[in-house]
Chain A
Amino acid sequence: MIRITVDAEPLEGRDGQTIAGVLIGAGRTAWRSAQTGDRGVFCGIGVCHDCLVTVNGVEGVRACQREAVDGDRVEREVRA
């Protein structure tokens, strides 16, 4: 079991899950604000960049590609 925070809210995931996997496992389907509405995972394999999040202060991390690490601080991104 791992614990991460998403905009300061604690979420639990399974060891080895990607950040997208943890978010979806917690019932979230969208976590980035785009001009035409919120986005989450689309391609799931690192190509589309729809699922970008800020991780431990670093922007532009593909949630579907980054394995979640216990204690990760994840923040939503707002961009067009």
Chain B
Amino acid sequence: MTGAAAAGAGARRVAILGGGPAGLAAAQAALAAGAEVTLLDEGGRLGGQYWRHHEQLTDRRLQHGWARFERLKGVLDRAEVHTGASVWSAEASDGVVRLRAVVGPADATSRTALEIEADAVVVATGAHDLALPVPGWTLPGVTTAGAAQALAKRDGVTVGRRTVVSGAGPFLLPVAQSLAIAGSEVVGVHEASRIGGLAAGWLPRPWQLAGKAGELVEYVGALARHRIPYRIGSGVVRVLGTDRVEGVVIAALDADWRPVPGSEREVACDSVALGHGFTPRLEVAIALGAAIEGDRRGRFVVVDDTQRTSVSGVYAAGEITGIGGADAALAEGAVAGFMAAGGSLDDDRMRGPLAVRRRMGAFAARLERAHGIRPGWTSWLADDTVICRCENVTRRTIADRADAPLRAMKLATRAGLGACQGRTCGRAVEAIVAEAGGSPEGFDRRPVLAPVRLGEVAALGRGSTVVDTEPARCDDAGTTVAAVDVQ
């Protein structure tokens, strides 16, 4: 049965972009509110990064909250679902949302064109890893922590046999567990934050971790079982090797993440997983005209207490509204989907999601306080360290042009103009420009939504529109009951 037939004539049409926790929860809630739902995800399978999987290749020990995923997926037979869908144009005007996508194998030449018109859209495009540059980080064997996780979960492989995990935040723990289960020795997990920061972040109100606490306890147990050392206030400050990773230099880091002189030591390994945080995938939200707010510590989509953005009919949920993890994404997704479908926050079915959203919002704030990137990290860079991996632009080249307007700096150095469009280096370039006295704001105004071949676009015969916006204010609210699925 199609979504239209199930929902009946006159139902609100809700499009959902992203099939991770936020998008799936949005779909479930929008269906519960009687909407006709179309869900698009660029991956080959639903689940997003959190539930990344393959039916035969994924070790079930690496999945968390799998029953919830199956439940969410189970209601999608009442929706229209397109996986392998790359959205290349998104517009919202006069109360109508128009999306254009191509559907098919990743980067294939002849994918199927898809056009969707909806009354509302929930943008739930998630986040990708933020790995800060380190001298030597372009060597084969260095990946993001998310890549290590994705390869272990999705493909059942590890890049090396001896891996050092380095960065910041609780995500390093499941990554280490996945590496160990998938077959790599994990030499150590190096957390840049120090005990003071961790205590300030996690310890004062551990009950606010709620569902998260059990998961974290499980990861800590896995570290112990696999005899993986977890070292706080330290990190990889250089990767060693000529043609591939042969080792790393680990240093103690001070409270600002500046390496402590004399603390360096070499550790042999053949692979490194770096993860210093997450970068929201804002491209579609920006194209739709949604206001973005924040600073160099993170820029996110502004939403009100209904998860609506600054644009009528455009809702946002999950990591693009603030890095809060899967539980927050599920709650925000449920609210966004329900409201996009014309529901009310006073509905009983919203009590659970609103309570979780409030609790996890506090958790996200403490995560940032405890693990947020500190400015001293740039002192582990060398002048010739490649910052922009696509265009091989060094720190010195960027710093030398820091006084130019951002656009001129990018054109002169090509930093951020390569295939990834600054997604990988943006935060690092901003930090280097700022440190050199320049003004880096706005690096994320990216025009490219998804990599689509020019031939495909030409065949479709239309161009995409990008709307630039000014930041607006953000508001938040919530109540206090347990989480439930919105049925």
Contacts and interface: CB of A to CB of B under 8 A. Distances in A.
16 contacts: A14-B156, A21-B155, A21-B156, A24-B157, A24-B159, A38-B140, A40-B159, A42-B131, A43-B147, A48-B419, A49-B451, A58-B109, A60-B107, A65-B107, A66-B105, A80-B391
A44 B392 contact: no
Given A17-B57, A65-B107, A67-B105, A44 B143 contact: yes
Interface size class of A (residues with CB under 8 A): 35 or more
A64 B57 contact: no
A75 interface: no
Q: Which of B44, B140, B420 has the most CB of A within 10 A?
A: B140
Interface in B147-196: 147-151, 154-160
Contacts of A42: 131, 142-144, 147, 389, 424
Q: Which of B151, B392, B424, B453 has the most CB of A within 10 A?
A: B151
Contacts of A41: 143, 147, 151, 159
Interface in B244-290: 244, 271, 281
A49 B150 CA distance: 15
Interface in B101-144: 105-109, 128-129, 131, 138-144
Interface of B: 42-44, 49, 54-57, 105-109, 128-129, 131, 138-144, 146-151, 154-160, 243-244, 271, 281, 386, 389-392, 418-420, 423-424, 451, 453
B452 to A, nearest CB: 11
Contacts of A14: 56-57, 156
Contact of A25 (B106, B150, B157, B391): B157
Contacts, number: 137
Contacts of A18: 154-155
A66 B106 contact: yes
Contact of A45 (B49, B56, B389): B49
B141 A29 contact: yes
Contacts of A29: 140-141, 159-160, 244, 271
Contact of A44 (B148, B391, B453): B148
Nearest to B57: A16
Given A21-B151, A36-B392, A45 B107 contact: no
- SS class, residues of chain A in contact with chain B: loop
Interface in A12-36: 14-18, 20-21, 24-25, 29-30, 34-36
Contacts of B389: 39, 42, 48, 50
A21 B144 contact: no
Contacts of A62: 106-107, 451
A62 B77 CA distance: 30
Given A42-B144, A49-B451, 9 more contacts: A34-B138, A40-B140, A44-B144, A44-B146, A44-B149, A47-B420, A49-B419, A66-B105, A67-B105
Contact of B154 (A21, A47, A48, A58): A21
Given A44-B150, A58-B109, A24 B155 contact: yes
Nearest to A40: B140
